[in-house]
Structure 1
Amino acid sequence: MKEVMTFKAGKFVFCDQYDRPRIEKLLVEASTLNAAISDLPILPKWSSQIDPELLYSSVAGTAAIEGNSLDANEVRELDEGKIPDAGHTAKDRLEITNLIGAYRQLDLQAAEPSGTYDFPLRLNLIKSVLAESHIRALHRQITNGLPYEDNIPGTYRNGMVKVGDKAHGGIYTPPKIIEDVEMLMREFIDWINSDDLIKENVFIRAALAHYHFSLIHPFWDGNGRVARLLEASLLQSAGIRYVPKMLSNYYYRHVDDYYLAFSDTIKAKKDVTPFLEFNLRGVIESLQTMKTRIAILIRMLVMREHVHSLSSNKAISKRQHDLLTLLLDDSSGKPFTLHELQQAMPYTMLYRKVSEMTARRDLKNLLERKLLTVDADNRYTLNLRGFDS
């Protein structure tokens, strides 16, 4: 813990004290899940599907917390050169464009572990050491060209702001004068890069950076987005997969609890347990989601091989093989009925010229081989868990 006396705002506390048994239990779960995911094989084609989805949901989530109106699908459209026409403002679209650029730097950061980068947003992260120039660069990237009152990209605030509201635990007033802001940012950098914090579990250190940067609130606008990107940068530089982007969406989906975690921690003064607990629950949920998703992709890959083998051995017909292939190619996993098999695309390509009895016989064979399941409403789906039992 580090206490700093400011010029005008009184004592500011950089705190790493928390309820060890309570937080350690969550850390063990997070670390175990992270290790499990790290050991799972990922095909390049899976990454090419997953990575853009995480980028767009992360950008939409972190922007929505600050009031932006674009959802993840519209973020994708904007990135693809389309202009979403649902009444979004030019400001909303530019916020998204700036954030896409910032998050893409995280991927470049992961690809260049040396920490040396040659582009406008220069990430000075070497062995997870955070630099003040990195923070200013992030803020410039995020707020460049945006018409925020008083805000100058990359420049610290000199004046009063109020954060929060009564509905989420009360209003907090960060340090007001630039002398305090500048001093606290220097102290923040020294503290977060100290030996004790460098040795701390990366999930804890990244959350502490997020929380304390938000308390200082050094810029007029964009502080929340910078805080979440700082956290993501520290996680990414430590080799954590998926979570750096997923956390922003978790915060958005639990935005009331997010604000309350800040308020409860501020009230606790020298105990950061509330924010760490909320944060780690987000880490765990994100890791569990990805573990399940990757496991399903692996099972689908195994099932493809199994279906190919059955077809080669004449255990299933070519039409049955093609139906299963259609289902494996459809990532939605939407159930279908016997009627849809003969009346709806893409199934009609296979079943429009055969009788209902033939279609029933195909389904019966695939059910008996545990390749499909059927529910009480006679809707059929792939059986990714039972086919190999």
Structure 2
Amino acid sequence: MQGRQYRETHPWIAFSVDLRLAPFNLWMLLGEACSKCEHIAGVPIDPASADELNLFYLAKGARATTAIEGNTLSEEEVSGLVSGTLELPPSKAYLGREVNNIIEACNSVLADLTQGRTHRLTPDRIRVLNSKVLQGLELEEGVRGGLVRSHAVVVGRYRGAPAQDCEYLIGRLCDWLDEGDWPAERLGTMATAIVKAIVGHLYIAWIHPFGDGNGRTARLVEFQMLVEAGAPSPAAHLLSNHYNETRSEYYRQLDRARQTGNPVEFVGYALQGFVDGLRTQTRLIREFQLGSAWENHVNVAFAGSNSAADSRRRHLALDLSSVGRPVAPHELRTLTTRLAAAYAGKTPKTVTRDINALLTMGLAQRNGKRIVSNQRALLAFLPIKATPE
């Protein structure tokens, strides 16, 4: 214990977080993060929309955590890898392997959780995650997935902890995260898990225990800790996305935490991005729900009406809501493929009659000379706001 070199070279690796120094807004962000995670986890959403949401955020998270390390695949290309619809050319195969490793690792964590298997964070578990990150990649001599390094590493201006201390440090980190003096009783399980996940990520980045893949391993640990604490899987990808979107600030915050020796500022930075992402995710889920509720509302409005005109008007009401903007009457005829087929051979008077029918039923509104879906009629509890003069 007395002879550990890191105490001289890396005194900021002190296994301590003084939350008494946290500003009030950190507590507000932490409370909002917990509330929104609970809200998202319990929200009813149809299976197709849920799958779409999961795949969307898996792609964003996998791209983000690899892009931070220099992977150049686009979000569209990563989405193709997630869905299995993209085959990359040989020149980009290694980029695809990097991304697929993250996709497979995240899916493995979720599959284990679904089957009731959780993984206590141990040095062996961190090694396994690093092996998953580096599987199938060409590595420098002496570097192997899951093998704690025996040589010095320098990333940019940062030198990792002394190699002879790395085994000890990841063991100490796991013990601290598992048994340390974390205020779980006062904060609650989810709030404590969020803080521990962010701090665990930070410490692995500081220690840099492996020859390669340390950042991706740190963010994968963060993901595992979040989902095992009950965070919805789409939400658990948000931190990686935040770090990528604010990459220069991410590195500045890592360095700032090293200089101060207290991770509180880094936790605040991470929480702000996490909450911003949760707010966006909540709005997206609300849009999915509104679309489902509107489709049901329109179908009920036309229940028992099976004529060709009623079928056409029902499609018009649904397709008008899908474009999300006011539409000129003459555009309605070709707004979608099925509307173009329905209005083929029909006169403008037919369009006018259909518009009037939707207006009478409360399914559409006029917006000047244009027509817009009355989907907002379902948002019964939005606060009334005065329009500024």
Alignment partner of 2:131 out of 140, 143, 155: 140
For residues 233-265 of structure 1, give each alpha carbon's deviation from its aligned partner in whole angstroms, at most 9, with x where no partner exists.
Answer: 000101110221232222222222222221221
Output the CA distance in 1 between the equivalents of 2:355 and 2:63: 41
Amino acid at match of 1:172: Y
Output the CA distance in 2 between the equivalents of 1:381 and 1:263: 51
Query: In proportion to residue count, which structure has more helix?
Result: 2
Amino acid at match of 1:244: A
Correspondence for 1:187: 172
1:101 aligns with 2:104: yes
Output the CA distance in 1 between the equivalents of 2:247 and 2:367: 36
Q: CA deviation at 1:66?
A: 1.0
Correspondence for 1:319: 312
Distance of aligned partners of 1:333 and 1:61 in 2 relative to their CA distance in 1, 3 Å threshold: farther
For 1:210-229, what aligned pairs fall within 5 Å after superposition? 210-229=201-220
TM-score normalised over the length of structure 1 = 0.83
Distance of aligned partners of 1:345 and 1:273 in 2 relative to their CA distance in 1, 3 Å threshold: same
Runs (5+) with no aligned partner, structure 2: 381-389
Correspondence for 1:350: 342
For 1:67-216, what aligned pairs fall within 5 Å after superposition? 67-79=70-82, 80=84, 82-85=86-89, 89-115=92-118, 125=119, 129-150=120-141, 151-164=143-156, 171-176=157-162, 178-197=163-182, 199=184, 201-216=192-207
Distance of aligned partners of 1:214 and 1:10 in 2 relative to their CA distance in 1, 3 Å threshold: closer
For residues 246-291 of structure 1, give each alpha carbon's deviation from its aligned partner in whole angstroms, at most 9, with x where no partner exists.
Answer: 322222222222222212211222x222211111112212222222
For residues 107-141 of structure 1, give each alpha carbon's deviation from its aligned partner in whole angstroms, at most 9, with x where no partner exists.
Answer: 213303342xxxxxxxxx1xxx3111111111111
Q: What's the % identity of the aligned pairs?
A: 26
Tell me the matched-pair count: 362
Correspondence for 2:6: 6
Output the CA distance in 2 between the equivalents of 1:32 and 1:64: 30
Alignment partner of 1:236 out of 207, 227, 232: 227
Q: Is the 8 A contact 1:8 1:180 kept in 2?
A: no
Correspondence for 2:29: 26
1:220 alignment partner, SS class: coil
Correspondence for 2:352: 360
Segment of structure 1 superposing worse, 273-282 or 193-202:
193-202
Segment of structure 1 superposing worse, 99-108 or 246-255:
246-255
Runs (5+) with no aligned partner, structure 1: 116-124, 165-170
TM-score normalised over the length of structure 2 = 0.83
Task: Kindly report the root-mean-square deviation, in angstroms, between the aligned alpha carbons of the 2 structures.
Answer: 2.8
1:290 aligns with 2:254: no
Output the CA distance in 2 between the equivalents of 1:334 and 1:110: 42
Amino acid at match of 1:57: K
Distance of aligned partners of 1:139 and 1:163 in 2 relative to their CA distance in 1, 3 Å threshold: same
Q: Is the 8 A contact 1:77 1:84 kept in 2?
A: no
Distance of aligned partners of 1:138 and 1:374 in 2 relative to their CA distance in 1, 3 Å threshold: farther
Correspondence for 1:118: none
Correspondence for 1:167: none
Q: CA deviation at 1:144?
A: 1.6
Amino acid at match of 2:87: I
Q: CA deviation at 1:163?
A: 3.0
Output the CA distance in 2 between the equivalents of 1:259 and 1:372: 50
1:268 aligns with 2:253: no
Output the CA distance in 2 between the equivalents of 1:279 and 1:367: 47
Correspondence for 2:247: 255
Correspondence for 2:40: 37
Output the CA distance in 2 between the equivalents of 1:112 and 1:54: 22
Q: CA deviation at 1:27?
A: 1.0
Amino acid at match of 1:144: Q
Q: CA deviation at 1:13?
A: 1.6
Output the CA distance in 2 between the equivalents of 1:249 and 1:133: 26
